[in-house]
Chains A and B, each alone.
Chain A
Amino acid sequence: MTSPSAAPARLSTGERAAAFVVKWGFVAVTVALILFFLITEPSFRTVDNIFGMLKFIAPTAIAGLGVMLAMTVGGIDLSVGASAGFAVSIAAWTMVIANQVGGVAVTVVLVCGLLIGALNAFLIVVARIPDLLATLTTMFVIVGLKLIIVDGKSISSQMTLNDGSTAPGKFTADFLWLDRGSIGPVPVPVIIFLVITVLLWFLLERTRWGRALFAVGTNSEAARLSGIRVQWYRTAAYMGCGLLASVAGLLLAARIGQGDVSAGNSLLLDAVAVALVGVSVLGIGRPNAWGTALGAVLIAVMVTGFTMLGLPYYAQDFGKGVVLLIALLFSFTFSRRRTVVTAGSTTSAS
C-alpha cells in the first residue's frame, strides 16, 4: 500500500530557488570560473595546463579525500598535513640516508601512514579523546618526530652529513617518476588522484562497508544496535585517512625532489576545505568522493586563474576562504537536508 501522501511539503518559489542554488551552486561557480579563464587567458586553454592544474592539486585532493573518509564516521583528522610532511621527510631519509630504492621508500612511507592513522584511532576510539583534539595533538607529535628524525634539516641528495661524509643515496628515478612520469598524456599524480577518487566512491556508495561507515557517522548507536562494529569502522576510517595523507606526502616528495622539512605545512587547511566543499557539492549533505575531487578542482582552477591574472599569492588564501565559507553556508544554513558533519562530537558514542 504505497501512497504518495507522505511526500515532502510543497515548496515556495523562493525555497525551490534556494534548493537549486545549493545543489548546483558549486558546479556552476567552477564552470563559470573555467569559462572566464578560458576566455580571458589564452594560456589557460592548453591541455598541458589542464593536466598541470590537476597534477598541482593532486596531493591536496588526496589528503582531502582522507579527511573526507574520517568525516564519514563523524570525525575529522587535523593531522593530514603533518602526516604528509612526515611522509616527505621519511621518503627522503629512506632513500638518501638509508640508501634504499624508491620502492622501499614508498612502502616505509605507507606503513608510517597506517601507523599514524592507527595512533589517531587509538586516541579517539580507545582513549576517547575528542577527534579534533586528538588529531591536533598527533599533528604536533608527528611534526616534532619528523624534525627529530631528520635533525631539523631538509634532506637532499649528496648532502653533507654531520660526520662530514656525503649522504650515500639519492632520490631514485623510479621514485621521481611518481611526479614526473605520465601514462599517455596523463601525469602519474593525476592518475593516482583519479584512481583513489573512483575507489573511494565505489567503496562508499556501492559496498556494504561504505554503508556501514556512513551509518557510524549518521547514528552510531543505531549502527551498533544493527550489529555494526562501530569502533572497528572508526579505526579503519582513521587508518585509511593516514594512508591517504602519506600518499599525498609521496607525491609532494617526488615533486620537490628533496625532503623539505616545511613540506605539507599548508596542506591541512586546503585538505579540510576541499572535504567540506565536497559535502556541499550537489547538495549531497554528506562526505563524498566526487564532491571532494570537485572541490579540489575548483581550488586548482581558482589558484591557477589567480596566478595568471597576476594576483599576489596571498589573494589565493582569501579566495579559498570565501569558497569554504560559501560551502559551509550551503551545507549548514541553506540546505533543507540535515548535514552530517559532526566532528568533535562523536567520541561519546560507544
Chain B
Amino acid sequence: MTSASPAPVEGHDASVVSLVGVSVAYGSNVVLTDVALEFRAGEITALLGANGAGKSTLIKALSGANSRYTGEISIDGQPVHLASPVQARQLGISAVHQKVADGIVPGLSVAENLTLDDLAQASRHPFRNRKQATADARAALATLGLDWSDAALEQDAANLAISDAQLLVLARALRGRPRLLILDEPTSALTAAEAERLFSVLRGLRASGLSIVYVSHRFGEIEALADRVVVLRDGIVQSNSVRPFEWTEILHDMLGRATTLDHDRGTTHHGTDAVARLEGVQLFPESAPIDLEIKRGEVLGILGLIGAGKSEIAELLGGLAAPLAGSLSLGGAPYAPKRPTDAIRAGVVLVPEDRQRQGVLPGWSVAHNVTLPFLAESSVFGLLRKRFERSRADSVIDTLSVVTSGPDALIDDLSGGNQQKVVVGRWLSADPKLALLDEPFRGVDIAARREIGARLSTLATDGAAAVVLSSDVDEIFEVADRIVVLVGGEIELDRYADEVDRSTVIGAFLGRASQPGASASELPESAPERTSNDQP
C-alpha cells in the first residue's frame, strides 16, 4: 500500500471532495451551518476564521473525527459517510493536526511512528519485523523526497526536532495516498526557514495533484501558498475566493459580525489621566517595545488575532508573567505584580480568556463562584460571612441580569452566557481600578454581550479603567471608546472610536500582516516561552 510517489495526477481542478449542506450541532448549539464547498485536485485551499468560527469543527467532520454531522460529503462524486478517522483515511482523506507532539508516540522509533497506522489495522502481519517496518518507513519518507539514515529511523521519535516531527506526521499522512490532505496550522511551531521547507514540499504535492486544505492565521503564508481562500465565521462560509485575494474583503469577512454592526453604542468617552502605563514593554522576543497608556474613564478595546500579544498584555498586568523588557506603572507608581494576589490587592482584575478552564468552579454555587477571589474580604477572622457572600452574588445577579434561580443555584445549571456574566461580575464586584477582560464575549449570546458591555461602560464612567481584549472588530466597536490594534506584539493603531471607521481598523491589521510573501516570522502565532511567576 505504499508507493514512491503521492497520488497520481488525475486532471487538475477536478473536484475531489465536495460538501453539500454540511452542518454540525452540539445539542442546541449549531456550530457549523450548511457548508457547501469543493476541494479540487492540485489546489491548496486556505481555511480562515477567527477562534470559534467553526474551522476545527469542519476539519473534524472532514477527517472522520466527528461522525455526527448532517448533510452530504462526497468523494469523487460518491456520497460517503465519514464515521471514523481510519475510514476517512481509507477513503482518501488524511489530516495532520496542529499539535505535532500529539501525532508522535514517544518511546517508539521514527520508523515505527511512520508506520503507526499499520498497528490500527487488523493486519495481515500480527508480528511485524523490523526490516519490513524500516522499508515501509523509507517508502513513506520518499514521498516527501526525504532520505533519512537508518540511525535516524531507529532513534526514539521523541528526540526529533519539531520540524522533522512535522515532516514525519506529514509523511505518515501521505502514506495512504490520500486524495485530500488537511493541515491544521502546520507552521505554528516552525521557524521561518523550516516553514519555507514545508512550503516547497506542499507545492510539490500540489503539482502532483493532491488537494490540500490549509488552516492558518498567517496571511503571509496564505498569500504565498494558497490558490483559494475560504472564510468561515460563526459556522457559516462567508466567502470563497480565488487569486488575486482581496485581503481587505477577506478580513472583513473574517473579523466582522456585520449583522450587529448597526448597534448604536452612544457617546464615546475620552478618558482623563492614566491609570496604568506600559513603558517600553516588549511582548515577544522578536517584537519592538511598546508604550501604552490605559486611561481612567474609558473602555479600551485591544484588537488582535491569536499571537498578536493581547493575552500577553493581560498577563503582565494581571501578575501572571513578568515583562521581557520595560516596566509597568499603576496610578503613577511602579507596578510589578509577582502573582495574581498582588494584582487583585492593587485593584487590577483579569477576567481570563477560557471560562471553563480558568474561571468557573463547577459544582459550586453562584455565590461561592462570585466571592472566590475575595475570600479575605468575605470573612471575619477567617470565618466566611454567608450574608456578605449572598449579597455580593445578588448584586452581580442584579447588575448583569444573570438568569438564575438565585445565589445558591449551582453554576453548572446556568447557560454559558450567564456563567460568563457571573465570572465577569465576580471580577467587577470589588470596584477595581483596572479591569482586564480577555475575550469576554466568546460563546456568549448577544444579550449577554450587551449587558457586559453596559456594565463596563458604567465602570468606566464611575472612574475606573476597563480593557477588553478581543479578535472581533465589531465586538470592539460595540464596547470600546478607544481602539488599539495589535499586530505581532506591536501597536498598529491607537484611536478613539469616534475618530476611526471599520475600514481603517481593518486596514491596520493589514499594515504588515498580509504583505505578499510576508514570512511567517513576522506574525508570531504562538506565544514563546515566557517567565511565569507561580511556577515552582
The interface residues of chain B lying within 8 Å CB-to-CB of A350 are 532, 534-536
Report the Cα distance A125→B536, complex, angstroms. 8
CB of B80 to closest CB in A, whole Å = 37
The interface residues of chain A lying within 8 Å CB-to-CB of B202 are none
Q: Are B379 and A207 in contact (CB under 8 A)?
A: yes
Q: Does A137 contact B (CB under 8 A)?
A: no
Given contacts A225-B340, A340-B363, whether A6 and B352 have CB atoms under 8 Å apart is no
Report the Cα distance A206→B382, complex, angstroms. 8
Given contacts A2-B404, A128-B536, whether A226 and B340 have CB atoms under 8 Å apart is yes
Q: Are A229 and B362 in contact (CB under 8 A)?
A: no
Q: Does B281 contact A (CB under 8 A)?
A: no
Report the Cα distance A230→B358, complex, angstroms. 13
The interface residues of chain A lying within 8 Å CB-to-CB of B339 are 227, 229
Which residues of chain B from 107 to 139 have a CB within 8 Å of any chain A CB? none
Q: Are A6 and B536 in contact (CB under 8 A)?
A: no
Q: Are B363 and A337 in contact (CB under 8 A)?
A: yes
Given contacts A6-B414, A207-B384, whether A221 and B409 have CB atoms under 8 Å apart is no
Report the Cα distance A225→B342, complex, angstroms. 11
Q: Are A224 and B534 in contact (CB under 8 A)?
A: yes
Given contacts A2-B406, A6-B414, A227-B339, whether A222 and B384 have CB atoms under 8 Å apart is no
The interface residues of chain B lying within 8 Å CB-to-CB of A209 are 382
The interface residues of chain B lying within 8 Å CB-to-CB of A312 are none
Q: Are A227 and B341 in contact (CB under 8 A)?
A: yes
Report the Cα distance A174→B446, complex, angstroms. 71
Q: Are B413 and A8 in contact (CB under 8 A)?
A: yes
The interface residues of chain A lying within 8 Å CB-to-CB of B362 are 218-219, 338
Given contacts A338-B412, A350-B535, whether A206 and B359 have CB atoms under 8 Å apart is no
The interface residues of chain B lying within 8 Å CB-to-CB of A218 are 361-364
Q: Are B403 and A6 in contact (CB under 8 A)?
A: yes
Q: Are B361 and A221 in contact (CB under 8 A)?
A: no
Q: Are A6 and B340 in contact (CB under 8 A)?
A: no
**Interface 1/0 per residue, A279-301 and B, CB below 8 Å:** 00000011000000000000000
Q: Does A16 contact B (CB under 8 A)?
A: no
Contact among A3, A5, A128, A208 for B375, CB-based, below 8 A: A208
Given contacts A208-B382, A222-B361, whether A1 and B397 have CB atoms under 8 Å apart is yes
**Interface 1/0 per residue, A183-222 and B, CB below 8 Å:** 0000000000000000000000011110110010011011
The interface residues of chain A lying within 8 Å CB-to-CB of B373 are 225-227
Residue in chain A with minimal CB distance to B535: A350
Q: Does B344 contact A (CB under 8 A)?
A: yes
Which residues of chain B from 380 to 434 have a CB within 8 Å of any chain A CB? 382-384, 397-398, 401-406, 409-410, 412-415, 418
Given contacts A1-B397, A224-B340, A227-B340, whether A6 and B404 have CB atoms under 8 Å apart is yes
Given contacts A215-B372, A225-B350, whether A2 and B397 have CB atoms under 8 Å apart is yes
Given contacts A207-B382, A223-B372, A227-B341, whether A285 and B404 have CB atoms under 8 Å apart is no
Q: Are A222 and B536 in contact (CB under 8 A)?
A: no
Given contacts A222-B360, A226-B372, A337-B363, whether A207 and B401 have CB atoms under 8 Å apart is no
Q: Are B372 and A338 in contact (CB under 8 A)?
A: no
Report the Cα distance A95→B39, complex, angstroms. 83
Contact among A2, A5, A226, A285 for B363, CB-based, below 8 A: A285
Q: Does B378 contact A (CB under 8 A)?
A: yes
Given contacts A211-B375, A231-B536, A337-B363, whether A225 and B415 have CB atoms under 8 Å apart is no
CB of B291 to closest CB in A, whole Å = 27
Report the Cα distance A230→B415, complex, angstroms. 28
Contact among A219, A227, A231 for B361, CB-based, below 8 A: A219
The interface residues of chain A lying within 8 Å CB-to-CB of B397 are 1-2
Residue in chain A with minimal CB distance to B414: A6
**Interface 1/0 per residue, A333-348 and B, CB below 8 Å:** 0000110100000000
Residue in chain B with minimal CB distance to A208: B375
Which residues of chain A from 1 to 33 have a CB within 8 Å of any chain B CB? 1-8
Given contacts A208-B376, A226-B340, A227-B344, whether A6 and B405 have CB atoms under 8 Å apart is yes
Report the Cα distance A244→B318, complex, angstroms. 37
Residue in chain B with minimal CB distance to A224: B534
Q: Does A325 contact B (CB under 8 A)?
A: no
Given contacts A208-B375, A226-B373, whether A5 and B340 have CB atoms under 8 Å apart is no
The interface residues of chain B lying within 8 Å CB-to-CB of A227 are 339-341, 343-345, 373
Given A7-B409, A211-B375, A218-B362, 15 other A-B residues pairs in contact with their CB atoms under 8 A:
A1-B403, A2-B404, A6-B409, A6-B413, A6-B414, A7-B405, A212-B375, A219-B357, A219-B358, A221-B358, A222-B372, A226-B344, A229-B339, A229-B341, A337-B410
Q: Which residues of B contact A (CB under 8 A)?
A: 318, 320, 339-341, 343-345, 350, 352, 357-364, 368, 372-373, 375-376, 378-379, 382-384, 397-398, 401-406, 409-410, 412-415, 418, 532, 534-536
Could you list 5 examples of A-B contacts with CB < 8 Å?
A6-B403, A7-B413, A207-B379, A218-B364, A226-B340
